[in-house]
Amino acid sequence: MWTLAAALAATLVSAQAPAPPQGAAQAAIQTAAQAAAQTATENTATATAAAVQPVSAPGLSIRITSPLGRTGISGAVRIVARVTATSAFVLSAVQFYVDGKLVGEDKTGPPYAVEWLDDEPFEAREIVAQVSDDRGGVARDVVDLKPLEVHDTSSVASVLLEPMVLDADGKPVNGLKLVDFHVLEDGVPQSIEMAQPEIAPSTYTLLIDSSQSMSRRLDFVREAAAELPRFLRPDDEVIVAPFRRTLGVITGPTKDRATIADAISAIDATGGTSILDCLKDLGPRLEGQTSRQIVVLITDGYDEDSTTTFQAAMLAMKSSQATLYVVGIGGVAGISIKGEDLLRKLATETGGRAFFPSREEQIADVHGLISADVQDRYMVSYTPTNQKADGTWRAVIVSTNNPTYHLRVRDGYRAASPPPVQPQIELTLRDTDRGFVDVGADDLQVFEDGVEQKIEGFEEALTPVSIILALDGSGSMRKSVAGVKEAAQTFITALPEKDSLGVIQFADSATMVQDLSKDKDRKQALEAVGDYTANGGTALYDALIMGLNRLRHVDGRRVVVLLTDGVDENDPGTAPGSVHTLDDVRAAVRDTGATVFAIGLGTKVAHTVLDDLAQISGGESFFPEDVTTLPSNYRRILENLRRRYIISYTSTNFARDGAWRKVEIQCRKPGIVVQSQGGFFAPNGG
């Protein structure tokens, strides 16, 4: 997007710069300082360029696989690189740089990785990984992390309309007041807040056709474009934008008439023409500007290469709230009837006008009419009663108390789009033997409700985890009490300090014997497990609901580790053991986004239930025959938690309807199984 303040800012900086030092000595000092600064700048630029160019040597290459973008989660990030080298070479440590600063190195890989604190996610960062071998070969790779975008979720702002009011003879009507105007939006009357003659400065974008079909009339085109600045007011600005199949090199915005003239004179005619494509591209660049936007399209109307539809081009222009004026100039083949119809429709639908001068002396009249048309308009504004930021088109009708008056004004506007939906999906990657594997973002595809999405971020999941350990204390566990305690306590002591842990024991009912805590030495959790006993029924579903409800109120990654040896039943085994049902548990798993790791001990467990809960949550299920293998199951869970990734993207579905979105992640490499929670709930509201 062009920032209209940019040119003014540069001018102000230049105007406010301190005057150069006076005298020969001061001048010599300044010259020497400038030379030294220039040398330092050149040296720095050379060194930086050498440091960031992705290179590889024969038999040696390196590729950064994580992160490839930002997920919105602040804190520690693991930078991971994959090295490919001929086995005969001895490799150095892999070095990792962020913005030219060494943040760590790894000699112990693969995979080669370091942790880095991404404490400024709203700033761009450059990551470099570099490795060398004993014969002098060097390889490096570069990833540019784009800053996170802040999306405005505020309500729809006031709408500004610029009607031109004409009497029955086609002459401008002056002197109208606020009470003389009426506005309907989608048929609903609006309360007008301002109606006054046009006084705001304007920015004129001269969109000049420089395609081959204009070659014989290019002098005429230059003259047509150069005439307009003579009719502008002192505060008006001009952008010169030549176009062919795409927009060319842009000049402006500027108030300097010589700059405008030079830019116009430098235009050459060559190539094809894409009027609609360029209008669609131009529209977003004009959005959000503070001055009125006037686009003057100078062309022969011969659009041979556009792929954009007329409706899409108009949508882009209307969304920018620009008024389009067209100056149609016959090229090699003149202006066809079809071309003239196109140009008239472009102007009319944005509230502008189309002109078709056939002689040079008519050009001054055309630009005089354009400037007068712009300056004879009223400014009418209102705040819509419909404040939904839903990106929909709003039809607007403006009228006056006098039914004989004709108004020339755009017919609506597009409401602000809702903030994008940007999910973050946690996943694991394993081979067919359930072994963990490393892949890159370019190896993966993401489909949301069957629609492929563009992956924007891919990194290892390093944020702290809140874990609920739910232990079955029913009577059937009596013979396993000692082994259950020992295995659970070993699991607890192996957890990273940054993770929170809570413990639930369940039998006839569920009890939170230790609430979530980051107790450094895990003393309280170990004591809670040490008091573990076995007696009564199996309130399995109630325990899971209790744990999931507790996790609902914490941020970050959420995990339930369940150990049970049976099914949900009361002590006699004649009825359910829980008030809640399996469907309640499934709904809570999806709602909280928690991952469930289920350990079914023995031969009388509900395999299908535990498999299902692990599958829908992106977790894992285990079925040891006795307590002797519990420690290895817990170790597997810890490894799983350490080998998880987060993938992020901006959804192509902007609806904020709270609906469940099914997400399928596939790996292009054969034999790799991707497991995740299977989707997410879209946010509610705009």
DSSP result, 646-681: EEEE--S----B--EEEEEEEESSTTEEEEE--EEE
Q: How many CB atoms lie within 10 A of CB 10?
A: 10
Question: Does one domain contain both 549 and 456?
Answer: no
Question: Does one domain contain both 88 and 213?
Answer: no
Q: What are the CA-CA distances from residue 126 to residues 149, 442, 525 (Å)?
A: 17, 19, 42
pLDDT band at 528; cut points 50, 70, 90 = very high
Radius of gyration of the chain (CA): 34
Q: What is the pLDDT of residues 129-185, one digit of tens each?
A: 999 998 889 999 998 988 876 544 445 578 889 898 999 988 889 899 999 999 999
pLDDT band at 6; cut points 50, 70, 90 = very low
The answer to whether 443 and 460 are in contact (CB under 8 A) is no
Q: How far does the chain reach from its first CA to its final CA, in angstroms?
A: 24
Structure tokens at 327: 């100056």
Q: What is the pLDDT of residues 113-129, one digit of tens each?
A: 888 888 887 889 999 99
Question: Does one domain contain both 635 and 497?
Answer: yes
Nearest CA to 638 among 571, 559, 581?
Answer: 559
80 lies in a domain?
yes
Helix (H) or strand (E) holding 193: strand 192-197
CATH code assigned at 135: 2.60.40.10
629 lies in a domain?
yes
pLDDT band at 71; cut points 50, 70, 90 = low
β-partners of residue 425 are 647
Question: Does one domain contain both 178 and 215?
Answer: no
Question: Does one domain contain both 470 and 540?
Answer: yes
The sign of the CA dihedral 316, 319, 320, 321 is: positive
Find the mean pLDDT for residues 599-610: 94
Helix (H) or strand (E) holding 8: helix 4-16
Question: Does one domain contain both 273 and 179?
Answer: no
pLDDT band at 44; cut points 50, 70, 90 = very low
Angstrom distance (rounded) from CA 432 to CA 11: 64
Nearest CA to 472 among 578, 554, 559, 572?
Answer: 578
Angstrom distance (rounded) from CA 53 to CA 556: 36
Q: Which of 86-95, 363-372, 638-647 has the lowest mean pLDDT?
A: 363-372
Find the mean pLDDT for residues 545-574: 94
Quote the pLDDT of residue 31.
36
The sign of the CA dihedral 327, 333, 338, 342 is: negative
150 lies in a domain?
no
339 lies in a domain?
yes
Angstrom distance (rounded) from CA 404 to CA 336: 34
Single-letter amino acid code for the residue at 333: A
The answer to whether 566 and 599 are in contact (CB under 8 A) is no
Nearest CA to 141 among 99, 85, 81?
Answer: 81
Question: Does one domain contain both 475 and 618?
Answer: yes
Structure tokens at 402: 């006098």
Q: What is the pLDDT of residues 648-677, one digit of tens each?
A: 999 999 888 899 999 999 999 999 999 998
Phi, psi for residue 681 in degrees, rounded to 5: -90, 125
Q: What is the largest CA-CA distance in the chain?
A: 105
Question: Does one domain contain both 442 and 312?
Answer: no
Question: Does one domain contain both 584 and 666?
Answer: no
How many structural domains are present in the chain? Answer: 5
Single-letter amino acid code for the residue at 271: G
Question: Does one domain contain both 231 and 357?
Answer: yes
Structure tokens at 315: 């949508």
Q: What is the pLDDT of residues 387-412, one digit of tens each?
A: 888 888 899 999 999 999 999 898 88
Average pLDDT over all residues of the chain: 84
Question: Does one domain contain both 81 and 209?
Answer: no
Global pTM value:
0.56
37 lies in a domain?
no
The answer to whether 190 and 183 are in contact (CB under 8 A) is yes
Question: Does one domain contain both 489 and 627?
Answer: yes
Strands 202-209, 393-400: pairing is: unpaired
Strands (E) in 306-364, as ranges, are 323-328, 354-355
Angstrom distance (rounded) from CA 341 to CA 16: 50
Helix (H) or strand (E) holding 506: strand 500-506
pLDDT beyond 50 at 610? yes
Domain containing 165: what range? Answer: 159-197+384-414
592 lies in a domain?
yes
442 lies in a domain?
yes
Phi, psi for residue 448 in degrees, rounded to 5: -110, 115
527 lies in a domain?
yes
pLDDT band at 88; cut points 50, 70, 90 = confident
Quote the pLDDT of residue 56.
64
**Burial environment of residue 267 by CB neighbours within 10 A (0 to 12, 13 to 18, 19 or more):** buried
Angstrom distance (rounded) from CA 201 to CA 291: 6
Quote the pLDDT of residue 156.
55
Strands 393-400, 181-185: pairing is: antiparallel
Name the DSSP letter for residue 23: S
